[in-house]
Amino acid sequence: MTQSVVTEAPATEADVPSTGSDPRVRWVLLAVGLVAALALPWFVYPPVAMDIVALALFAIALDILLGFTGLLSFGHAAFWGSSAYVTGLIATHYGAPFPVAVLAGAVFAMILALPIGYLSVRRSGIYFAMVTLAFAQMVYFIAYQWSGLTGGENGLQGVPRTFFGIDLVETESFYFYYAALPIILLGMWGAWRIVHSPFGRVLMAIRDNSQRARALGYEVEKYKVIAFVLSAGLTGLAGGVFAINHGFVALTELHWSTSGEVVLMTVLGGIGTLWGGILGAFLTVMLADYLASSGFQGIDLVTGSVFVLVVLLFRRGVWGTVRHRYLARRLRRATRRGAADTRE
Amino acid sequence: MNAVLQYAVQGLAAGSFYALAALGLAIIFGVLGVVNFAHGAFYMLGAVAAAVLLDLLDLSLWWSLLVVPVLMFGFGVLVERLLVQWLIRLDPLYNFLLTFGLTLVLVELVKQQYGVSGLPYRLPGPLRGRVDLAGVVLPRYQLFVLLFSVGICALVWLLMTRTRIGMIVRASTEKPELARALGINVGRWVTPVFGFGVALAGLAGVLAAPFRAITAEMGNNFAIILFAVVVIGGLGSIVGAVIAGFMVGLVEAFGQAYAPTFAQILIFVLMVLIILVRPAGLFGRKEATA
């Protein structure tokens, strides 16, 4: 059995000193990203812009597990969807301001992730993917059967967008974007903190060699469960915002195709790169939006083909390829300079 | 008592589909190390192929049981040569994702070709109606499905244990390095084994055709239950896949009879129990904790 999920990304990581990325580059990227996030609803229909950033956080949350812990969860729709439902229910029945409802949804997702994570980390590798998929399907069936609460196949309709007394109605989706963006950015910052903390380093150690991590005294299962719950919480934030944005929660949000779609976004953008998730979500949503508006039937045909092609030919993903080129060039330069130094 | 027996036969018949398909999944995983997400789609293709053959060429179920697995074998070989083989040396997750993408494409293609409403299927005369066995009235077709699949499973078992090919396949499954070291060309068996596993999924689809609504989506949920089956049975184990398949069929049938709301959920509850008690599955050997 192969040790880690990501067979290529860590190898490239190891080629490069861990302090590889230039802090100046990082600040420039951050500034560009922020400006892009703020400018997005001017260029893209605002509800679609909201979908992009929500799905971007979803992809990043998945990448904490896939890219940094080496676990492929194929059941993250369970957390995305259940948070969407809880957010929608709280906003509908209690008229809570949407940030409060979203927070409640995320907390629910984390509570749900605790038993699922505890059971799933007992199997690793491909088994983990299958077990999480089965659990997500179980959650799907529960929501489907419990139609008194969830609306069953009709979904949960008429979710309001109240923002501390201000009713952000359908036409105000432009303002809603700016009201909800801080939640998403907070989630992304959280993901960044998790990955760059000592805790994140342990996760990467587990990904690269779990036996060694265990030998060093880290309780591998405990770290995996914590990573799983944190990832589910960030997924929940994204799912809640998504639900409020649409004013509607469909059963599809819990379906395995949603789990697959976010894996595609992560892989397309580049596993193990936080920026990749954002790029992957942007490309996927824009493509789906373009196909839908041009009247093309059968988006799955395109999604599936992209999946096959990316996995066959383009496993580093878009961002992964760019970063790999950049880092490889830096490394070449550094070694050339080093060689010149020793000659002197 | 009567009702219990009826549910049992119904469950075992439904379990036959899981058992046959899980057998294919287990053999493919054993030799190739690939978890084939598209197994549900192949099952669906088998059922659709049977319906189309009946409609266009008037080929009855008997012929479909023979022709469709052969066609699916060819299709499986094609998929393995064109797609799966390129990722075999990498982490199994890549082939899992590849076959997931393939599933989306296949389901969508069938949906566009044949629509979303179910295709009709007509049983041949001798299999219609009911049969009275010592006071227990059972649908003939369910009995046929049960006997036929047990027969196929027994044949596969004989093939695995009594022939040279079977020995090679088992050796490649259990100790690939050792088999190679002893001069067995494991790579030569990879393509036919993939085709064989796909053919088994297609066969399960043909058997299910008169039983289930034949739609493009019919394989989706099936695939996920199949994963639960192999988690319960132990993915590396061929016997485990078959026994767990029948077990899950029984759980499903009795669940539907006595607690219809929870029928689908019960299967996953069974999976949770197995994970808690025997993480490696009923017949699985304990994997290295990695």
Please report the residues numbered 72 through 111 in chain A whose beta carbons come closer than 8 angstroms to any beta carbon of chain B.
Answer: 72, 74
Per-residue pLDDT tens for A88-139?
Answer: 998 888 877 888 889 999 999 999 999 999 988 887 778 888 889 888 988 9
Cβ-based neighbours of B84, under 8 Å, separated by 6 or more? B32, B34, B95, B98, B99, B194
In angstroms, the separation between the Cα of residue A158 and the nearest Cα of chain B is 27
Q: If you measure CA to CA, which chain B residue comes closest to A144? A: B261
* Cβ–Cβ < 8 Å for A115, A232: no
Measured between CB atoms, which of A127, A135, A308 is closest to B101?
A308
Q: Residue A284: is its pLDDT beyond 70?
A: yes
**B231/A306 touch (CB, cutoff 8 Å), yes or no:** no
CA distances from B97 to A5, A57, A274, B91, B268 (A): 12, 21, 20, 11, 22
Contacts of B97 (CB under 8 A, 6+ apart): A263, A267, A307, A311, B37
Q: Are A127 and A71 in contact, with CB atoms under 8 Å apart?
A: no
Residue of B nearest to A309 (CA): B98
> How far off is chain A from B8, nearest CA to CA, in Å?
24
A127 lies within 8 A of chain B by CB: yes
Q: What is the pLDDT of residue A8?
A: 41
Res A230: pLDDT: 95
Judged by a CB distance cut-off of 8 A, whether residue A211 touches chain B is: yes
Q: Residue A220: its chain B contacts at CB < 8 A?
A: 289
Q: Please tell me the predicted confidence (pLDDT) of residue A163.
A: 66
Per-residue pLDDT for A5 more than 50?
no
Under 8 Å CB pairs connecting chains A and B tally to 134
Residues 6+ apart with CB under 8 A from B47: B205, B206, B208, B209, B212, B214, B218
Q: What was the pLDDT predicted at B129?
A: 73
**Host domain of residue A308:** 9-343
How close B251 gets to chain A, by Cα (Å)?
Answer: 15
Has residue A3 been placed in a domain?
no
Spatial separation of the C-alpha atoms in residues B143 and B86, rounded to whole Å = 42
List CB contacts (< 8 A) between B104 and chain A. 257, 260, 300-301, 303-304, 307
Contact assignment for A297 to B112 by CB distance below 8 Å: yes
Q: Which of the four pLDDT bands, split at 50, 70 and 90, describes residue A13? A: very low
Q: pLDDT tens for residues A199-246?
A: 999 999 999 888 898 889 888 999 999 999 999 999 999 999 999 888
A182 in contact with chain B, both atoms CB, cutoff 8 A: no
- Which are the contacts of A176, defined by CB distance < 8 A and separation ≥ 6? A46, A50, A161, A163, A168, A244, A245
Helix (H) or strand (E) holding A212: helix A210-215
Q: What is the mean pLDDT of chain B?
A: 84
Mutating which of B104, B235, B267, B268 best tests the A interface, going by the most A Cβ atoms within 10 A? B104
Kindly report the pTM of this predicted structure: 0.86
Work out how many domains chain A is built from and give that number: 1
Could you say which of A3, A145, A301 has the minimum Cβ distance to residue B109? A301
Tokens of A275: 């920026």
A4/chain B closest Cα distance in angstroms: 8
Query: pLDDT tens digits, residue range A14-23?
Result: 444 444 567 7
pLDDT of amino acid A189: 93
pLDDT tens per residue across span B23-81 = 999 888 888 888 899 999 999 999 999 888 888 887 788 888 888 999 999 999 999 88
What's the mean per-residue pLDDT of chain A?
A: 84
Distance from A290 to chain B by nearest Cα, in Å?
18
Subunit contact B101:A134, Cβ cutoff 8 A: no
Decide if pLDDT at A31 tops 90.
no
Distance CA A16, CA A9 (A): 11
ipTM for the whole predicted complex goes beyond 0.85: no
pLDDT in tens, B163-193: 888 888 778 777 777 877 888 777 778 888 8
pLDDT class of A342 with cuts at 50, 70, 90? low
Query: In the prediction, which pLDDT does A164 show?
Result: 62
Beta strands B136-139 and B130-133, pairing class: antiparallel
Please indicate, yes or no, if residue A1 is contained in any of the structural domains: no
Q: What is the arithmetic mean of pLDDT over B107-121? A: 81
In the block, which residue shows the tokens 């890219």? Answer: A67
CATH number at residue A32: 1.10.3470
Mutation for testing the A interface, residue in B81, B93, B95 having most A CBs under 10 Å:
B93
Residues in Cβ contact with B187 at an 8 Å cutoff, skipping those fewer than 6 apart:
none
What is the residue extent of each domain of chain B? 17-218
